[in-house]
């Protein structure tokens, strides 16, 4: 399910187009249009970000980062 | 009823507020210009997450530009903070992605003062959050700011307009550049796709 959703990618061009439109609308005194474009841009950017960091094998996890505790003398002694 | 001394203090604080916002926008515009210079002069193509960090910085500028166009509002501060948080999340994730170099995952581009772009982005986002927090702490309870538009300070207002226009222009340049680099597809490219 998640991998199906994450297979759809918004284009980066759309993200930048929405931001340019937001800035231009703001400059041309169209505040509602500007804020709408800004929110569209944010949503597309978050979607793009999630697409970029998603891996079909590991999902959003980062297995290359060691997160297990190193064995210490005390933990080794407790393990017997 | 406000006394003249209070009004004068409020005018000074409003001036400082607009100066502060202008400084933030100029610094962000400088950072974006430096990134674009490295891109066009040294041929360092931005990766997708690098491009999203640029979008986040433009989003921060949006809030500031709105403050200069329509007067100060905390809604605009909210827009800037939203994109600052987005910048921080993207930059932290990219730093963690490349922190352990392996094939296909290593810091790309030139290091500036020993730090790469995503690490700088974390610092930039933290500086922005600190700057807004400090402003709220020092000028907290400043509803009067909304009653003092930037055009009461003609020079600051004009400089704000110039900086705003510059940010809009470089955003448009980035849009064209992204279209040339990626077309309408994914952005993992080693050249400008539409120019090949």
pLDDT attached to residue A79 = 79
Report which of B19, B22, B24 is spatially closest to residue B162, judged by C-alpha positions.
Answer: B22
Is B82–A42 a contact, with Cβ atoms under 8 angstroms apart?
A: yes
For residue B151, being part of any structural domain is answered with yes
Query: In this structure, how many other beta carbons lie within 10 angstroms of the beta carbon of residue B23?
Result: 13
pLDDT attached to residue B4 = 54
Residue B153's domain comprises 4-171
Mean pLDDT across chain A, nearest whole number?
A: 86
pLDDT attached to residue B1 = 44
pLDDT attached to residue A52 = 87
Is B52–A42 a contact, with Cβ atoms under 8 angstroms apart?
A: no
Distance of alpha carbon A29 from alpha carbon B152, whole angstroms: 19
Q: Between B73 and A1, name the one with better pLDDT.
A: B73
Report which of A73, A71, A72, A54 is spatially closest to residue A62, judged by C-alpha positions.
Answer: A54
Residue A80 has pLDDT above 90, yes or no: no
Distance of alpha carbon B112 from alpha carbon B114, whole angstroms: 5
For residue B184, being part of any structural domain is answered with no
ipTM entry: 0.86
pLDDT attached to residue B192 = 76
For residue B192, being part of any structural domain is answered with no
State how far the alpha carbon of B19 is from the alpha carbons of A6, B24, B57, B157, B176, in Å.
43, 9, 19, 9, 31
pLDDT attached to residue A3 = 66
- Measured between CB atoms, does B183 come within 8 Å of chain A? yes
For residue B33, being part of any structural domain is answered with yes
For residue B185, being part of any structural domain is answered with no
For residue B44, being part of any structural domain is answered with yes
pLDDT attached to residue B87 = 95
For residue B14, being part of any structural domain is answered with yes
Q: Between A23 and B191, name the one with better pLDDT.
A: A23
Is A52–B48 a contact, with Cβ atoms under 8 angstroms apart?
A: yes
Total beta-carbon pairs less than 8 A apart between chain A and chain B: 98
What does the pLDDT profile of chain B (196 residues) look like in tens digits? Answer: 455 558 888 888 888 889 999 999 999 999 999 999 988 888 888 888 999 999 999 999 999 999 999 888 889 999 999 999 999 999 999 888 888 777 766 667 777 788 888 889 999 999 999 998 988 888 776 777 778 888 888 898 899 999 999 999 999 999 999 999 888 877 777 777 777 7
For residue B50, being part of any structural domain is answered with yes
pLDDT attached to residue B6 = 80
**Number of structural domains found in chain B:** 1
- Among the residue ranges A16-20, A50-54, A65-69, A75-79, the one predicted with the least confidence is A65-69
Name the residue among A12, A23, A64 with its Cβ closest to that of B182.
Answer: A12
- Measured between CB atoms, does A36 come within 8 Å of chain B? no
Distance of alpha carbon B87 from alpha carbon A54, whole angstroms: 18
């Amino acid at each position: 399910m998640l991998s199906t959703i994450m297979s759809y990618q918004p284009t980066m061009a759309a993200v930048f187009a929405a931001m340019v439109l937001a800035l231009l609308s703001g400059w041309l005194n169209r505040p509602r249009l500007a804020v709408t474009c800004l929110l569209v841009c944010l949503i597309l950017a978050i979607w793009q970000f999630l697409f970029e960091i998603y891996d079909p094998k590991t999902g959003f996890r980062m297995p290359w980062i060691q997160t297990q505790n190193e064995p210490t003398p005390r933990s080794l002694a407790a393990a017997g | 009823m406000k006394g003249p001394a209070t009004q004068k203090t409020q005018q000074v604080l409003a001036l400082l507020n607009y100066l502060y916002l202008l400084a933030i926008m100029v610094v962000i515009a400088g950072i974006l210009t430096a990134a674009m210079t490295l891109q066009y002069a040294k041929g360092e193509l931005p990766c997708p997450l690098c491009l999203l960090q640029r979008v986040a910085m433009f989003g921060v500028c949006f809030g500031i530009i709105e403050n200069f166009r329509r007067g100060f509002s905390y809604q605009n501060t909210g827009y800037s903070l939203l994109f600052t948080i987005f910048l921080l999340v993207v930059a932290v994730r990219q730093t963690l992605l490349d922190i352990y170099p392996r094939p296909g995952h290593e810091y790309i581009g030139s290091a500036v003062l020993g730090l790469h772009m995503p690490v700088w982005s974390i610092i930039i986002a933290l500086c922005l959050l600190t700057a807004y927090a400090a402003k709220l702490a020092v000028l907290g309870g400043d509803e009067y700011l909304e009653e003092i538009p930037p055009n009461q300070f003609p020079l600051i207002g004009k400089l704000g307009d110039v900086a705003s226009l510059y940010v809009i222009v470089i955003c448009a340049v980035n849009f064209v550049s992204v279209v040339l680099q990626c077309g309408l597809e994914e952005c993992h490219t080693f050249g400008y796709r539409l120019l090949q």
